[in-house]
Amino acid sequence: MKNHTLLILVIMSLLSDVALATGNSMVIIANASVTINHLSLDEIKDIYLLHNRQWSDSSPIIVVNRPSNTQIRSRFEQQVLGIETKKYALHLEKMHYQGTTLPVIQESTQAVIAFVKNVPGAIAYIEGLPNNSQIKVLMELK
Amino acid sequence: MKTNFTSIFHRLLWSYSAIFLLLLSAVFTLLFFKLSTQQVHSNIAQLHQATLSDRTQLESELFHTLTNVKAWATLNSMDDLLSDDIDQRITERLEQVKQQYQLKGHLYALSSKGTLVTADYPIEKTLDLSVWFTQMQTSNSPFIDKYSSPIDGSTIIAFWQPITASFNNQQIIGYLIITYPWQAVTSFLAGNTILRHLMLFNQAGIAVHQDEHLPLINNIAVVNAMQKESWYCNFLSRYLGVEEDLHYEVTIDQKIFFVEILEKNPDTPLTNAWQWVSLIEKQQIYAPIKDIVIDILQLAGVIVCLAFFIIYIISQRLSKPIQTLTEIAADIANTLDLSKRMPNYGHDEIGKLAASFNEMCNTLEKMWQEKKQINTDLQTLNEQLEQKVAERTQHLAWQANHDMLTGLPNRALLEERLTLAIARSHRTPSMLAVLFIDLDGFKAVNDNYGHDMGDYLLVDIAKRLLTCVREHETVARLGGDEFVILLELQKVEELDAPLERLCALVNEPIVTDGKILKVSPSIGITIYPLDPSDGDGLIRHADQAMYQAKQKGRNQSQFFKT
């Protein structure tokens, strides 16, 4: 009985992801305190590769990632960063050993949204537009 | 064994005993004092150590808790405070930690504004925790002293730690609080209340913990105000080398306690929040001393008995020889028995005395023997002497009555004999003849051959004359060459034969040494009672008759004629 439920959930999550993948676009969101309104892909890449760690007003960029084995992250890595998962992970590790603060990990979309809402200078990616007016949308990938 | 002790014995016994008792009591008193103070000190020190160790233990427990809260405040999941823990990652983590570490209290995560975000158990998020928030804002110590929990009103202490974002450690995103039930502290401190009682007072002087056995003391001011007495006499402590103590005596409810207010220890910063006061009941501390006293007294009793026994034996051993000496000396004085000796007493003074005494007895005994010997000798000598004297006297007596040369009675004896013979003649019908003999030619012999020859001749003649008379008759020598013979007869005619014999004998020559000596008798005879004269008269008459015979031509006899 349990195994069955688990199986169903897994399938449904996959399906949801697929549905989202097909239905929802990747959206880059940021905290309301961020002055910029739009970011290019390259700028986002810089940010997520931790090359650029400050906003234009010198406030720190708080980068938010999803856990490394999630579908949305893979999608982000593929669509936005254009880097292999392994390569990205390796890069992050390298940055970690250099003493750079790694991106914060949040597990669910709602957690990401709540985080970005509360933390000044936060940037994250979600699938689908947030319903929150307190969050800026910096980019939307179709 | 006679039980007659000398006074020396008593003196020795009592003086030794007195010295011993003095020493013993001095030693034991000192020992007792030292021991008891040592004991009390060590007991108190032990309890002090116990208190300190309890404190250290409590400190370590609390420190552990603090360390934990500090560690958990840095958990990565704490970032979720910024997202109000929507994913409940913090909740899960807190629950996990609570389970894993078996926490006595609870964990609470607050936001930077002081609102409750989550806890390690399901809880109302709308609770008012301003009491905590205020404390955390105003205090720089991560420790919150005893108070009532705003959540459930239980008595707790708490540790808190600010939580910073993992990406920005300057930014406080919330607070982590861990509560510790006060009950745990109380039950921990209630461990050893039999001997030692603990009281904790907070910074304000209010009692936060107290043993149930103690009467209630709310404020440390009460303790401070209590009359303190130093529990040990300074005089004694100076002389016995005991340290000045840091304790005070205090009377609470008629029981006396030793009170110690522990100093603030820099090694236990958390527990320094309270003033630690330790009370020890005096009676409890001194109870084992009583056992020690009893033990010591028993031991002392045994030692005293043993010592008395030994002293008795020693004293006796010293005084007995003196007594023996006295007895033996008295004995000797009484019985004069010098064969008694003292027994051997070794080489000490008494022994030498005994040996000297024995030597003296030896010498005396020898002298005594000698004296006895001398006495015996003297006696013997005396006897011999007496004998000799008797002999001599006898001899003298004889000499007085006899002629030395011939051994014949002399004139004196003759007169006696004569008297007797006269008397006898009176009694019996017998007659007495008195013959007076003179030797003719004797002078010529003396002149020709010397006096020695003459003497020899006289002796020989005397012997011959003696052969003529019977036992009761007398031959006497009057001197020179004169002899007198007394004869007893019944008839005159009885004279004839002896007379003849007599003449023949005297006429017989004496041969000696190659010489021939010749004499002849001139005899004068008188017969009593025909001649009724007395002794002298008779001799005179006989002498006259002899003279007549000589005149008639010698070598003949002549009767007396009136």
CB of B167 within 8 Å of a chain A CB? The answer is: yes
Assign residue B508 the CATH number of its domain: 3.30.70.270
- State the best of B81, B83, B86, B118 to mutate against chain A, taking most chain A CBs within 10 Å: B83
Where is average pLDDT lowest: A26-30, B29-33, B494-498? B29-33
CB of A57 within 8 Å of a chain B CB? The answer is: no
Indicate the pLDDT class of residue B3, thresholds 50, 70 and 90. low
Chain B: closest CA distance from residue A102 (Å): 8
Tell me the pLDDT tens digit for each residue of A53-75: 999 988 899 999 999 889 999 99
Domain that holds residue A131: 25-141
Say whether pLDDT at B548 is over 80: yes
Where is average pLDDT lowest: B208-212, B429-433, B507-511? B208-212
CB of A83 within 8 Å of a chain B CB? The answer is: no
Q: Do B257 and B271 touch, CB atoms closer than 8 A?
A: no
Say whether pLDDT at B237 is over 80: no
Q: Name the amino acid, one letter, at B78.
A: M
Instruction: Judge: B167–A107 Cβ closer than 8 Å, yes or no.
Output: no
Question: Strands (DSSP E) along A14-105, which ranges?
Answer: 26-31, 62-65, 104-105
Say whether pLDDT at B80 is over 80: yes
Assign residue B261 the CATH number of its domain: 3.30.450
Angle at B488 between CA B486 and CA B492, to 5 degrees: 105
Instruction: Judge: B82–A115 Cβ closer than 8 Å, yes or no.
Output: yes
Q: Name the amino acid, one letter, at B449.
A: Y
Distance CA(B195)–CA(B445), nearest Å, equals 153
Q: Do B296 and B30 touch, CB atoms closer than 8 A?
A: no
Q: What pLDDT score does B380 carry?
A: 92
Tell me the pLDDT tens digit for each residue of B274-301: 888 888 888 877 777 788 788 888 988 9
Q: In chain B, whose CA is at the least distance from the CA of A118?
A: B82
Distance CA(B251)–CA(B260), nearest Å, equals 13
Q: What pLDDT score does B204 carry?
A: 77
Mean pLDDT, all residues of chain B: 85
Distance CA(B160)–CA(B70), nearest Å, equals 8
Q: How many CA atoms lie within 13 A of B434 on its CB side?
A: 33
Residue B244, in any domain of the structure: yes
Residue A131, in any domain of the structure: yes
Angstrom distances, CA of residue B228 to CA of A100, B253, B260: 65, 15, 11
Provide Rg for chain B, Cα atoms.
76
Complex ipTM:
0.74
Provide Rg for chain A, Cα atoms.
16
Residue A96, in any domain of the structure: yes
Nearest to A118 among B76, B83, B166 (CB): B83
Which residue has better confidence, B197 or B381? Answer: B381
Residue B400's SS3 state is helix
Distance CA(A53)–CA(A63), nearest Å, equals 9
Chain A with chain B: Cβ pairs closer than 8 A: 42
Mean pLDDT, all residues of chain A: 85
Q: Cβ contacts of residue B158 below 8 Å, gap of 6+? A: B105, B132, B143, B144, B147, B177, B178, B179, B180
Residues on chain A touching B166 (C-beta within 8 angstroms): 101, 104
Q: What pLDDT score does A19 carry?
A: 47
Residue A52, in any domain of the structure: yes
Residues on chain A touching B112 (C-beta within 8 angstroms): none
**Boundary residue ending a domain (B284, B314, B338):** B284
Nearest to A110 among B82, B86, B165 (CB): B86
Residue A82, in any domain of the structure: yes
CB of B102 within 8 Å of a chain A CB? The answer is: no
Q: Do B462 and B483 touch, CB atoms closer than 8 A?
A: yes
Longest Cα–Cα distance of chain A, Å, equals 56
Residue A118, in any domain of the structure: yes
CB of B115 within 8 Å of a chain A CB? The answer is: no
Question: Strands (DSSP E) along A57-102, which ranges?
Answer: 62-65
Residue A9, in any domain of the structure: no
Tell me the pLDDT tens digit for each residue of B427-469: 888 899 999 999 999 999 899 888 998 999 999 999 999 998 8
Instruction: Judge: B86–A108 Cβ closer than 8 Å, yes or no.
Output: yes
Nearest to A111 among B83, B166, B167 (CB): B83
Percentages helix, strand, coil for chain A, rounded to the nearest 5? 45, 20, 35
Indicate the pLDDT class of residue B325, thresholds 50, 70 and 90. confident
Q: Cβ contacts of residue B318 below 8 Å, gap of 6+? A: B8, B9, B12, B350
Domain that holds residue B426: 411-559
Q: Name the amino acid, one letter, at B547.
A: Y
Residue A112, in any domain of the structure: yes
Chain A: closest CA distance from residue B82 (Å): 5
CB of A105 within 8 Å of a chain B CB? The answer is: yes
Assign residue A89 the CATH number of its domain: 3.40.190.10
Residue A29, in any domain of the structure: yes
Residues on chain B touching A108 (C-beta within 8 angstroms): 86-87
Q: In chain B, whose CA is at the least distance from the CA of A61?
A: B167
Which residue has better confidence, B319 or A104? Answer: A104
Q: How many domains does chain A have?
A: 1
Q: Do A135 and A32 touch, CB atoms closer than 8 A?
A: yes
Q: How many domains does chain B have?
A: 2
Instruction: Judge: B79–A112 Cβ closer than 8 Å, yes or no.
Output: no
Helix pair B7-72, B282-335: axis angle to 10 deg = 160
Distance CA(B487)–CA(B138), nearest Å, equals 187
Angstrom distances, CA of residue B148 to CA of A82, B119, B141, B186, B440: 57, 18, 18, 15, 188
Chain B: closest CA distance from residue A117 (Å): 8
Residue B72 buriedness (CB in 10 A; 0-12 / 13-18 / 19+): buried
Residue A141's SS3 state is strand
